Structure 1
């Protein structure tokens, strides 16, 4: 039951992070005419900082571990997610010539699974 509750909490934080990431991407591209891949990186960084704080205090309730050690691990996990994100966005936008938000949908299908597994079993362990 604890694992399911953790997964649900991680999912809620993930939805918030997704809204922040995608919202930043959309606003930068549509209103400020910033390039989509760079805009996605900006959204990722904002999402990383906020998601880490919430996951640390609420999802995994980690108080025994050094916050800096956990942050470094979480940043590594998120960086792996960023690389997957960039790869998917780059291929979608520049090779397949598809709409950037379609690429973001693909990102949303792949990256959260990767991030949960690495966060649960390594970063916050």
Structure 2
């Protein structure tokens, strides 16, 4: 069961990433939005797409959508902060090449987010 969920989580994350890139590009290229602002709008789109897929498909959660959304959003923000902090440390303190650092971080942050979402955001076990 967990391997199936992990596979669906990767697909949902990939589709969220495509939504992020697509919305960001639309904002910048067609609407004249500055790139950083476009990235924020793209991130919001990615959160929406990823949340919807993870709630209904990946974890098939019966938790209240309001409860699970806020938990999912907190996990997503935590992942962003982890990614940023780890990148900063690896690049600025350890002197790693930025792509090597990001590829290393990619192994940790999504796995952490998957576990937090599986056991907290979308879990329906008694608390």
- With normalisation by structure 1, the TM-score equals 0.69
Q: Supply the distance in 1 between the matched residues of 2:43 and 2:109 (Cα, whole angstroms).
A: 11
CA contact (8 A) 2:51 2:69 kept: yes
Equivalent residue, structure 1, for 2:53: 54
Equivalent residue, structure 1, for 2:43: 44
| Aligned counterpart for 1:78 among listed residues 68, 76, 79 | 76
Q: Which runs of 5 or more structure 2 residues have no equivalent in the other structure?
A: none
Please identify the structure whose Cα radius of gyration is greater. Answer: 2
- With normalisation by structure 2, the TM-score equals 0.68
Q: Which runs of 5 or more structure 1 residues have no equivalent in the other structure?
A: none
> How far did residue 107 of structure 1 move?
4.9
What is the alpha-carbon root mean square deviation over aligned residues? 3.4
**Change beyond 3 A, Cα 1:116–1:105:** same
Q: Deviations over 1:31-62 (max 9, x none)?
A: 66635xx6654433221111001111111111
**Change beyond 3 A, Cα 1:86–1:40:** farther
Aligned partner of residue 68 in structure 2, secondary structure: helix
